[in-house]
Amino acid sequence: MSKAVMEHADAADVFNKDESYVDWHDETLWFVRTKRDKSSKLLPEWENLRETASQIKNYVLSHMDELLETFEKNAKANGIHVHWAADAAEHNEIVLAILKQHNVDRMIKSKSMLTEECHMNDFLTKNGIEVIDTDLGERIVQLRNEPPSHIVLPAIHLKKKDIGDLFHEHLGTDAGATDPQYLTEAARQHLRDKFLTRKAALTGVNFAIAETGGFVVCTNEGNADMGAHLADVHIACMGFEKLIPLQAHLGVFLRLLARSATGQPVTTYSSHFKSPREGQEMHLVIVDNGRSAQLGRADFRNSLKCIRCGACMNTCPVYRRSGGHSYHNAVAGPIGSILAPNLDMTKNADLPFASTLCGSCTNVCPVKIDIHDQLYKWRQVLVQGGHVPQVKEIGVKAMSMVLSQPRFYQWSGRLGRSVMRTLPFMVNNSLNPWFKQREMPEPPKESFRDWYVRNRE
Amino acid sequence: MDYSHLKIGLFIPCYVDQFYPQVGIATLELLEKLGCKVGFPLNQTCCGQPMANSGFEHLTKDCNRLFYDSFAAFDYVVSPSGSCVLHIKEHLKVENQENDSKVLRKKVYELVEFITDVLKIDEIEAEFPYRVGLHQGCHGQRGLHLSQMSELNAAPFNKPETLLKKVNGLELVDLDRKDECCGFGGTFCVAEEAVSVKMGKDRVSDHIRHHAEYITGSDMSCLLHLEGILKRKNSPVQVKHIAEILNSAVKKQIPVPNH
C-alpha cells in the first residue's frame, strides 16, 4: 500500500493558511462540544450511562460470534435477507448484485459511514448505478465531489456562502443566496423527487439488536425512513460491531448517542426496522473489512465499541484546527486515527501522531474508548513495523543516546546553551520549525544541576 | 507538621534543568520551606517521554535505569512537571526489577499534588500581586487529576487553584476554555508545527482577552511553548511556573532542615 496523498501535518499546514477560517471552524465545532457538555450535565446518571454502555459493548466484543449468529437467525426469521461481506470489495459486489437483480440503476442512500469506508459510491457509479445521498450534508459534499469531513456533520467545513454557490450551480437557486431556510427548501424539493422515483434505498445501521433481529437507524432529517418506506428494496449495511444484545439496551445507547453527538436529548428520528413491509425486500449486509483483525488486537480491540457520535472530533483541538479532510480516511479525528492504521498501516502511519495526547477524546467518549492511550500504543506499533520516516528514527536515536548518559547530557546541554547565546542564528533560522512562529527560550548560563552543585553540594 | 523524616528526591526534567533553572530552584526552596528534606541525585537526565511519545518507548531503557538508580531509595519523588510525572507513573519499567519499578512509580508526585495530597497543605502564604491565568497542562489535569476536567459530569475540584487562591494579592482570571490543550505535545510541537502554533496562539489569546499579566501552570513544557508565542508577538504577558509563585515572598519562616 502507498503513502497518503498528503500527510496530516502537510494538509494541516495548508488548512492553517487562512487563520480566520480556522477560527471559524474551531468555534463552530467548539459550539457543538459545548452543547454536548450542557446536555450531558443535565443527566445526573451521565457517567453511569457511559460506564453501562461501555460494559455492554465489552460484552458484545467478547461474545461477537454467538451474538452475530443469534442476530442472523432472528433477522432471517423476520424475513430479512442477510449477507456477509469479508471486505469492502465483497460488500460493494453484494450491493451491486442486489440492484442488478431488481434491474435498478438509480438508488438513494441515507448516511452510512460504512459505505464511505468501502468507497461504495465510486464503485457503483463506475458500474452504471447512480447514487444520490439524501442526508443534506452528504448531498452537499457529494455535489462538491468530495468526501464528508465529519462523520455526523459531513459539510461542517463549509460556510453558508459555499452552500449558496454550490446550490446556485447545481440546483438553480438565486446567485448569492445564503439564507439557510431558502437553501434547505431548495434541497428538499430537489430530494423529494428522488425519494418518489427511486426503487431502491440504502441506509446505514446504528444499532442491530441480536435479541429481535431488528435494527435501528438514527437521523435528524427523516431521510432514512422516507427512502426505506417508499422503496421496493431496502438495503441496510453495517459493520459487525454495531450489534447490541438486547432491545432494552437501546435506551442506554440512544440517550448517549444524540447527547454526545449534538447535545440533543435524542435524535429526531430513531427508526426501528424489523421486517419488510408487504411487497418489499429487505437486505442486510454485515461487513468485516478488517474488524476481525482489530478484534484480535488486544490493545486496540475496544475501538470497535465506537457508536460514531463524533464527540471526539468536536472536542479534539487538533481536529478543530486541521479539518476532517486532513485525516485522509473515511472516519477522521481521534477515533479515525486509531481505526485507520488497522486498515492500512503504511497509508495511515501519520494519523496516530496527529495528536498531543491531551486525553479530551477519551473523556467525552460515550462508550469510554481509551482513545489517547491507543494513539500512544499505535505509535509504538508503527515504529516497530518500520512505518515512520527514517530521518525521524535517526533524530530520536540521537536524542536517546544523549539522554542515556548523564555526562554526555550535561556536556551537550552546556554546549547547546552556549551556542544559543553566542551564535543564536544557529537555532534561530528557517530550518528550525519551532522558530518559524515562536521564540526559543532564553538559554541560561547555568543549568539547575550546575547551580545545585555550586550552592548545595 | 514535621516532614523532615521523609527523604524527598527532587526530579528536575531535562528541559527545566537546561532552560529554566529558576523553576528547579523555586521547587527546591519551596519544599524546604515547607519542612521537607530534599535531595537532588546528580545522575538524573530525562523521564524518557520524548522518545516514548514519538513511538520509541523501546529506546527509553537507559533513561528508566537512570531514573530508577537515582530515585529508588527515596520515600517520595517530587517534580515540577505533570507530564513527566505521568509518563513515569504509567511507563517506568526496569528490566528484572518490574515489581520495584511499580513501587517507585507510586512514589512519584507532581509538585502541586505532593503539597496538597501528601503534605496536606492547602494554604501557602506567598505574595504575588498580579492578575494570573492558570493554564492546566493536560497530563497533569486529565492524567494525574490535579483538577476536574470539563468533559466529565463530576464534582469540581482544582488543586493548583486552591493554592493560588490563597496567594496574597493574586487575582485569578476566568478563561473561556479552562482546560483546552496548548498544543505543545512533545515532538508534536515541531512535527505538526502549524496546528501546534495555532493551538498555542488561541490559548494565549484567551488569557490576554481576560487581562492576565502572567500565565502560570504546573507544567513548564506548556509554558515554554506559550512563552515562545508571547515573545514572538512582543506581548508584555509573561509565564511563571506555579513553584515560582508559591515560593515568592513566603512570609512564614519555616526552618530549613539541616543537610
Contact assessment for residue A372 and residue A300, using Cβ atoms and an 8 Å cutoff: no
- Residue A31 backbone phi and psi in degrees, to 5: -60, -40
Residue of B nearest to A439 (CA): B228
Question: Is the pLDDT confidence value at A341 over 70?
Answer: yes
Residue B165: pLDDT over 90: yes
Is the Cβ pair B40, A413 closer than 8 Å? no
User: CB A9 to CB B185 under 8 A?
Assistant: no
CB contact under 8 A, B199 and A30: no
> Which residue is it, cell 523553576?
B23
When CB atoms are compared, the residue of A41, A356, A409 closest to B45 is A409
Amino acid A427: pLDDT: 87
Q: Starting from the edge strand earliest in sequence, which strands make up the sheet with B238-241, in order?
A: B171-172, B131-134, B214-217, B238-241
In the structure, what pLDDT confidence band is assigned to residue A384 with cuts at 50, 70 and 90?
very high
Please check the confidence at residue A2 and state whether its pLDDT lies above 90. Answer: no
Query: Which one of A358, A391, A424 terminates a domain?
Result: A391
Per-residue pLDDT, averaged over A299-322, amounts to 98
Please report the beta strands in A70-190, taking only residues with DSSP state E, as ranges in sequence order.
81-85, 106-109, 130-133
Q: Which residue has the cell 545545585?
A: A452
**Same structural domain for residues A326 and A439?**
no
Q: Is the residue at A396 inside a domain?
A: no
Whether residue A173 lies inside any domain: the answer is no
Instruction: Examine the domain organization and report whether A204 and A283 are in the same domain.
Output: yes
- Location of C-alpha cell 515489581: B99
Using one digit for the tens of pLDDT, what is the confidence trace for A76-122? 999 999 999 999 999 999 999 999 999 999 999 999 999 999 999 99
Q: Are residues A365 and A246 in the same domain?
A: no
The last residue of a domain, from among A292, A324, A342: A292
In a domain, A192, yes or no: no
**Residue pointed to by grid coordinates 467518549:** A365
pLDDT of residue B259: 40
Chain B residue with CA closest to A7: the answer is: B192
Alpha-carbon distance A214 to A201, whole Å?
A: 17
Q: CB-CB: which of A315, A437, A441 is closest to B151?
A: A315
Assigned C-alpha cell, B84: 513527566
For B80-132, the pLDDT digits (tens) are: 999 999 999 999 999 999 999 999 999 999 999 999 999 999 999 999 999 99
pLDDT at residue A331 in the model? 97
Residue A53: inside a domain: yes
Task: Give the separation between CA A301 and CA A347, rounded to whole angstroms.
Answer: 20
**Cβ–Cβ of B62/A404 closer than 8 Å?**
yes
- Identify all chain A residues contacting B24, using CB atoms and an 8 Å cutoff: 448, 451-452
Q: List, for residues B24-83, the tens digit of each pLDDT value.
A: 999 999 999 999 999 999 999 999 999 999 999 999 999 999 999 999 999 999 999 999
Determine whether the interchain pair B228/A440 forms a contact, defined as Cβ–Cβ distance below 8 Å.
Answer: yes
Whether A23 is covered by a domain: the verdict is no
Å from B192 to nearest chain A CA?
5
Domain-ending residue, one of A231, A260, A292: A292
Cα distance from B218 to chain A (closest Cα, Å)? 15
Q: pLDDT tens digits, residue range B216-253?
A: 999 999 999 999 999 999 999 999 999 999 999 765 45
pLDDT at position A426 is 87
Residue A184 pLDDT > 50, yes or no?
A: yes
| Inter-CA distances, A265 with A225, A328, A343, A367, B210, Å | 20, 31, 33, 17, 33
- Residues of the domain holding A350: 8-17+310-391
- Nine-digit cell string for A134: 439524501
List the alpha helices (DSSP H) in A158-245: 160-171, 180-197, 223-230
Are A138 and A239 in the same domain?
yes
Chain A contact set for B199 (CB, 8 A): 317-318, 321, 356
Size of interface A-B (CB pairs under 8 A): 209
**What are the Cα distances from residue A184, in Å, to A20, A149, A171, B5?**
26, 20, 11, 72
pLDDT at B256: 47
CA distance B22 to A455: 13
Pair (A68, A103) in one structural domain: yes
How many domains, in total, are found in chain A? 3
Give the tens place of pLDDT for each residue, A113-123: 999 999 999 99
Say which amino acid occupies A104. V
Q: What's the ipTM?
A: 0.95
Q: Among A322, A452, A456, select the one facing B195 at the smallest CB separation.
A: A322
The answer to whether residue A378 sits within a structural domain is: yes
- Domain for residue A33, yes or no? no
pLDDT of residue B19: 97
Q: What is the mean pLDDT of chain B?
A: 95
Contact list in B for residue A322 (CB cut-off 8 A) is 194-195
- Residues 215..234 of B with a Cβ closer than 8 Å to A: which? 224-225, 227-229, 231-232
Q: Look up the CATH number of the domain holding residue A110.
A: 3.40.50.10420
Averaged pLDDT, A335-352 = 97
Chain A interface disruption, residue of B19, B64, B176, most A CBs within 10 A: B19
Cβ-based neighbour number of residue A282 at 10 Å: 22
User: What gap in Å lies between CA A69 and CA A76, rounded to an integer?
Assistant: 11
By DSSP bridging, strand A207-209 and strand A106-109 are unpaired
Tell me the shortest Cα–Cα distance from B174 to chain A, in angstroms.
17
Average pLDDT over residues A299-320: 98
CB contact under 8 A, B202 and A26: yes
A137 and A245 share a domain?
yes
Facing residue for A404 by CB, picked from B25, B63, B154: B63
Label residue A247 exposed, middle or buried (CB < 10 Å: 0-12, 13-18, 19+). middle
The answer on A443 and A333 residing in a single domain is no
pTM score, whole prediction: 0.96
Look at B14 and A8 and tell me if their CB atoms are within 8 Å: no
Q: How far apart are the C-alpha atoms of B128 and A30, rounded to whole Å?
A: 33
Which runs of consecutive H residues, i.e. helices, occur in A179-235? Answer: 180-197, 223-230
Distance from CA of A162 to the nearest CA of B (A): 24
Select from B10, B23, B45 the residue whose CB has the most chain A CBs within 10 Å, as the one to mutate to test that interface: B45
Task: Characterize B203-224 residue by residue with b for buried, 16 or more Cβ atoms within 10 angstroms of its Cβ, and e for exposed.
Answer: bbebbbeeebbbbbbbbbbbbb
Cβ of B198 within 8 Å of Cβ of A41? The answer is no
B172-203 pLDDT per residue, tens: 999 999 999 999 999 999 999 999 999 999 99
Q: Do A438 and B191 touch (CB under 8 A)?
A: no
Percentage of chain A exceeding pLDDT 90 = 96
Burial B26-45 (b: 16+ CB within 10 A, else e): bbbbbbbbbbbbbbbbeebb
Q: Under an 8 A CB cutoff, do B194 and A405 touch?
A: no
pLDDT tens-digit series, residues A321-330: 999 999 999 9
> Does residue A216 sit in the same domain as residue A286?
yes
Contact A438 B184 (CB under 8 A): no
Report how far residue B125's alpha carbon sits from residue A392's, in angstroms, rounded to the nearest whole number: 47
Contact across the interface for B18 and A416, Cβ inside 8 Å:
yes
Quick one: average pLDDT of A238-249? 98
pLDDT at B257: 45
**A222 and A331 together in one domain:** no
The reply to whether A414 and A374 lie within a common domain is: no
In sign, the C-alpha dihedral spanning A453, A456, A457, B5 is negative
Whether the pLDDT of residue B258 is over 80: the answer is no
Same domain, yes or no: A53 and A96:
yes
Q: Residue A323, class by beta-carbon neighbours within 10 Å (0-12 exposed, 13-18 middle, 19+ buried)?
A: buried
- Is there a single domain that holds both residue A149 and residue A238? yes
pLDDT score at A256:
98
Q: Residue A185 domain-assigned?
A: no
Instruction: Report yes or no: B155 at the A interface, CB cutoff 8 Å.
Output: no
pLDDT band of residue A129 (cuts 50, 70, 90) is very high
Q: Beta strands A207-209 and A200-203: pairing type?
A: unpaired
Q: Is B188 on the interface with A (CB under 8 A)?
A: yes
- Give the best residue of A321, A345, A418, A438 to mutate against chain B (max B CB count within 10 A): A438
Candidates B198, B201, B238: best to mutate against A (most CBs of A within 10 A) is B198
- Give the phi and the psi of residue A429 in degrees, each rounded to 5: -145, 175
